[in-house]
Structure 1
Amino acid sequence: MFQARYLFVSLVQGYADYSTLYAGHMDGIMKSMVVRAIRT
């Protein structure tokens, strides 16, 4: 039971890290697109 809880917590933490990383990646893409649109 303890191992299952630990596995679930690690899975949730990994998903949270991935979602924040993905959001930061999309934010960087949007900023680069805006900068590119302003320059042209």
Structure 2
Amino acid sequence: MKTVILCGGQGTRMKEETEFKPKPLVLVGGKPILWHIMKI
């Protein structure tokens, strides 16, 4: 099965974190946001 996970955006409210890395890779609770999305 192939899937597409939409997790983009400007990340303007997280500017300090997203200035040098994409928003899906920002760590929340020690794991990237993308990991949390895929666990759902």
Instruction: Normalising by structure 2, report the TM-score.
Output: 0.27
Structure with the bigger percentage of strand: 2
**CA radius of gyration, larger in:** 1
Instruction: Normalising by structure 1, report the TM-score.
Output: 0.27
Of structures 1 and 2, the one with the larger relative CO (CA 8 A, separation 6+) is: 2
Structure with the bigger percentage of helix: 1
